[in-house]
Chains A and B, each alone.
Chain A
Amino acid sequence: AQTVTQSQPEMSVQEAETVTLSCTYDTSESDYYLFWYKQPPSRQMILVIRQEAYKQQNATENRFSVNFQKAAKSFSLKISDSQLGDAAMYFCAYEETSGSRLTFGEGTQLTVNP
Chain B
Amino acid sequence: EAQVTQNPRYLITVTGKKLTVTCSQNMNHEYMSWYRQDPGLGLRQIYYSMNVEVTDKGDVPEGYKVSRKEKRNFPLILESPSPNQTSLYFCASSFVSGSMSNTEAFFGQGTRLTVV
Binding site for B on A (CB under 8 A): 4, 6, 9, 33, 43-45, 47, 50, 52, 91, 95, 98-107
Contact of B31 among A6, A52, A100, A103 (CB under 8 A): A100
**How many interface contacts (CB-CB < 8 Å) are there between A and B?**
56
* New A-B contacts (10) at CB < 8 Å, excluding given A45-B90, A100-B105: A4-B42, A43-B109, A44-B107, A45-B92, A91-B42, A101-B33, A101-B45, A102-B92, A104-B42, A107-B40
Smallest beta-carbon distance A27→chain B, Å = 16
Does B43 count as interface, using CB distance less than 8 angstroms?
yes
* Residues in B neighbouring A102, C-beta threshold 8 A: 33, 35, 43, 45, 92, 105
Q: Is the CB of A45 within 8 A of B107?
A: yes
Instruction: Compute how far the CA of A8 lies from the CA of B96 in the bound complex, rounded to whole angstroms.
Output: 32
Instruction: Compute how far the CA of A6 lies from the CA of B104 in the bound complex, rounded to whole angstroms.
Output: 21
Instruction: Compute how far the CA of A100 lies from the CA of B107 in the bound complex, rounded to whole angstroms.
Output: 13
Instruction: Compute how far the CA of A6 lies from the CA of B43 in the bound complex, rounded to whole angstroms.
Output: 13
Smallest beta-carbon distance B55→chain A, Å = 13
The 6 closest A-B pairs by CB, nearest first: A45-B107, A104-B42, A100-B31, A43-B110, A104-B43, A100-B94
